[in-house]
Amino acid sequence: MKVGIIGSGGREHAICSQLKKSDKIHEIYCFPGNAGTSKIAKNVDIDLNKFEEIKKYILNQNINLIVVGPEKPLVDGLVDYLKKSKIDVFGPNKMAAQLEGSKIFTKKICEKYKIPTAKFGIFKNINEATSFLKNTSFPVVIKADNLASGKGVYICKDLNEASTAIEEIFNGKFGKAENLLIEEYLDGEEMSFFSIHDGKNFKCFGTAQDHKRVLEGDNGKNTGGMGAYSPSRLINKELEKKIIDKIIKPTLKGLSDLNTEYQGFLYTGLMIVKNEPYLIEYNVRMGDPECQTILPKLETDLFDILFSCCKRKLQEVDIKWSNKKSLCVVVCSKGYPDTFDKNIEIENINKIDLQENEHLFHAGTKIQNGKIYAIGGRVLNFISLSDDFLKARENIIKNILKLDWSNGFFRKDIGYKVID
């Protein structure tokens, strides 16, 4: 079999690495991939907005399965486009991808199907939103309605912070925004819950806790994710049943009533308040860096799982996991999530000597003349599996210190709630 992976981040390198273990696959292609994927796959430099070029390449190379990693091609309808040419694609269609593409779409499903979520209001301009805030209590959560690569969420302590958030969103910081949401602040603990769907059935696919804030102690600006650990310390059988019955099943019913189905990974972002789940958001793909944290624990052939979803036969696959705990720390370019320098060489990367149960997944990197350069904000993902989270974190920090990259920084406290 030949498999193609759409995307260039740490999530895609992790998927690529896991698929490489399958004895059913003899060739992997990454569109466009990164320096890490180039060692285990063929990187294909095609603009992800050019659906026709992607389709022609897939057909010319006789690629049997396409896995779409990032959200934008899903929201833009790549799955629908490829399926018209009878290509097997793992990922949700354009309609179902609205769960991530429009927070308002999701909130309306929550309203109609009584899915527990924060109370919210939808606002179309700066004046409307600002005047509402003058009569509200803080803190509040303000969200861009459109895709924002995990960064379009503001937790605002006062009117001044809220006004800045509103102006940034409507002034196009995350692209053109016709609406924003203002939500009540839920005081609880976040959890990421993953499931995998074949359009007919679904199975749970692990839990994680992501650390979005750039500074230690979960302070500073929101990022795409500074690290994660799996499993979440909050998960238990009772909570899992509530998440499935109160949130996931009603959402699938909502999509079914819109004459569509869900196939692919579904990331359910939750706030847990006294063992009760509230939906914060959906992502229509594996999280990043949660994917890098969860996939190394998978013991079942990933190709079997993904291909069975395309054939609506997920029930026939038994998904098995390691009992080990997994932790991931992201090394970022200095200045991220604001401005940062690009094309900086990572000189000591070959000095990293990974031991069993240790992984290094590339994100914002490229390879040129045998040298590896940082070209993104989030650059490298260090993962360790261990019997306890503290040991996993110690193993990772030891490897990052060996890297000794002067242009990088990382959070040393990933997993602090479960470790300390």
DSSP string, 16-53: HHHHTT-TT-SEEEEEE--TTGGGTSEE----TT-HHH
Q: Which two tokens stand for residue 356?
A: 């069993």
For the segment 75-127, what is each residue's pLDDT rounded down to a tens digit?
999 999 999 999 999 999 999 999 999 888 999 999 999 999 988 888 999 99
Please list the ranges in the chain whose pLDDT falls under 50.
none
DSSP 100-146: HH-HHHHHHHHHHTT--B--EEEESSHHHHHHHHTTS-S-EEEEESS
Tell me which residue of 333, 367, 335 sits closest to 350, measured CA to CA: 367
Average pLDDT of the chain to the nearest whole number: 95
Cα atoms in the 13 Å half-sphere on the side-chain side of 328: 38
Whole-number pLDDT of residue 379:
98
pLDDT of res. 137: 85
- What's the half-sphere exposure (Cβ side, CA atoms, 13 Å) at 240? 14
Alpha-carbon distance of 77 to 304, in angstroms, equals: 24
Tens of pLDDT, residues 62-71: 999 999 999 9
**What are residue 332's DSSP bridge partners?**
378, 409
Choose among 93, 92, 80, 111: nearest CA to 254. Answer: 111
- Residues in CB range of 76: below 8 A, 6 or more apart: 49, 94
pLDDT at 172: 85
Residue type, 301: D
Contact 17, 44 (CB under 8 A): no
State which amino acid sits at residue 108: K
pLDDT at 177: 77
Q: Which of 122, 121, 96, 69 is nearest to 251 (CA)?
A: 96
Tell me whether residue 8 is exposed, middle or buried, using C-beta atoms within 10 angstroms of its C-beta: 0 to 12, 13 to 18, 19 or more. Answer: buried
Q: Is 298 helix (H, G, I), strand (E, B) or coil?
A: strand
DSSP-assigned beta bridge partners for residue 156: 140
